[in-house]
A = this chain, B = another copy of it.
Amino acid sequence: MISVLGVDVGGTKIAVGPVDDTGARLAAPLVEPSRSRDTESFLAGLEATLRRALLEFARFGPRAIGLACAGTVDTGRGVVVTSPNLPLVEVPVAQAMQDALGVPIVIENDANAAVLGEAVAGAAIDFRHVVMLTLGTGVGGGLLLDGRIYHGANGGAGELGHMVVQKGGLACRCGSHGCLEMYASGPALARYAAARIGDPAQDPDDALHDLYRRGVLTGEAVAGLARHGYPGAVGAVRELADWLGVGLVSIANTFDPQMIVVGGGVSGLGEALIARARDHVRENAMAPARDRVRIASARLGNAAGMIGAALVAWEALGRGRA
Contact = CB atoms under 8 A, between A and B. Distances in A.
Interface of A: 72, 81-82, 128-129, 141, 145-146, 150-160, 162-167, 174-178, 183, 242-243, 246-247, 249-250, 253-258, 283-289, 292-293
A275 to B, nearest CB: 19
A82 B256 CA distance: 15
A133 to B, nearest CB: 11
A288 B246 contact: no
Contact of A159 (B152, B158, B286): B286
Most chain B CB within 10 A, of A162, A256, A292, is at: A256
Contacts of A82: 287
A160 B288 contact: no
A173 B256 CA distance: 19
Nearest to A128: B153
6 contacts: A151-B256, A153-B256, A159-B256, A162-B250, A177-B284, A254-B254
A254 B176 CA distance: 14
Nearest to A163: B250
A128 B151 CA distance: 12
Contacts of A176: 249, 284-286
Contacts of A164: 165, 246-247, 249-250
A240 to B, nearest CB: 12
A60 to B, nearest CB: 34
Contact of A289 (B156, B246, B284): B156
A150 B154 contact: no
